[in-house]
């Protein structure tokens, strides 16, 4: 979607008189290791941000360049995490919702409307109360909405830095390269050395099949 269209998508929500539109997105639903990270972002209505798009369509260098611009222009932003233990206990969807709610709880301005990337919209409430905040799920929202796309960039850059740090703690596994996704090298290391404390045990249930399929699978990184 063109940059002007991304901005126009959000602009239509302001026509009804609302002032604060919050975009929420996550990074790390699919990896075998590491937390799931969510970001919540409220941008000013007259933001001058440019170059924003779905974080997956940007290079790492582009994301790193845009991240401080988003943080500097945002009315408010926050990051929320759900741990590996919570992912294993709750399942990845519920853990993602938990990370999103934790991000929203730290936002300093109560939004008029929340836009979440994806098909599912969890219940959000004004922090410290039971008053719900209205919103909607937007399929492909990280490529349609400026606020969601901005949240996707913040979530992705934050999580990537976490995984680089895990790469230093567990140098055999290459987390700094694949960020916890199931590349062939990553699966080889799990088979050879076993899972670490940051591996999602619920995601490793099929690892007995990896040995058979390992060398027939193309190695990719996220």
Is residue 221 assigned to a domain? no
Q: Are residues 159 and 177 in the same domain?
A: no
In terms of domains, do 177 and 110 share one?
no
In the chain, how many domains are there?
A: 2
Low-confidence stretches of the chain (pLDDT < 70) are 1-3, 206-222
Question: Are 124 and 31 found together in one domain?
Answer: yes
pLDDT of residue 127: 85
What was the pLDDT predicted at 2? 59
Residues 40 and 96 reside in one and the same domain: yes
In a domain, 25, yes or no: yes
My answer on whether 195 and 113 are in the same domain is: no
Same domain, 94 and 72: yes
Sequence-ordered list of residues with C-beta below 8 angstroms from that of 214, at least 6 positions apart, any chain = 184, 187, 188, 191
Last residue of a domain, one of 139, 165, 191: 165
Do residues 122 and 200 both lie within one domain? no
Residues 6+ apart with CB under 8 A from 60: 160
Q: Tally Cβ neighbours within 10 Å of residue 169.
A: 11
Domain of residue 190 covers: 172-216
Residue 32 domain-assigned (yes or no): yes
Is residue 130 classed exposed, middle or buried when 0-12, 13-18 and 19+ CB atoms within 10 A define those classes?
exposed
Provide the terminal-to-terminal Cα distance of the chain, rounded to the nearest Å. Answer: 21
């Amino acid at each position: 979607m063109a940059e002007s269209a991304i901005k126009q998508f959000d602009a239509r929500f302001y026509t009804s008189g609302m002032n604060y539109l919050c975009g929420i997105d996550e990074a790390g639903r699919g990896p075998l290791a590491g937390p799931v990270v969510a970001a919540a972002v409220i941008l000013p209505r007259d933001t001058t941000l440019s170059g924003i798009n779905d974080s997956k369509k940007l290079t790492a260098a582009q994301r790193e360049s845009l991240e401080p611009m988003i943080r500097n222009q945002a009315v408010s932003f926050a990051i929320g995490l759900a741990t590996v233990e919570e992912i294993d206990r709750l399942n990845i969807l519920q853990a993602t919702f938990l990370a999103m709610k934790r991000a929203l709880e730290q936002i300093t301005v109560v939004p008029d409307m929340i836009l979440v990337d994806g098909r599912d919209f969890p219940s959000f409430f004004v922090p410290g109360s039971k008053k719900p905040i209205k919103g909607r799920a937007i399929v492909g929202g990280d490529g349609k909405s400026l606020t969601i796309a901005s949240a996707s960039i913040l979530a992705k850059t934050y999580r990537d830095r976490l995984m680089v740090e895990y790469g230093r703690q567990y140098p055999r596994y290459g987390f700094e390269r694949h960020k916890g996704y199931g590349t062939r090298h990553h699966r080889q290391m799990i088979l050879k050395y076993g899972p670490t404390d940051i591996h999602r045990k619920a995601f490793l249930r099929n690892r007995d099949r990896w040995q058979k399929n390992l060398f027939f699978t193309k190695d990719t990184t996220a």
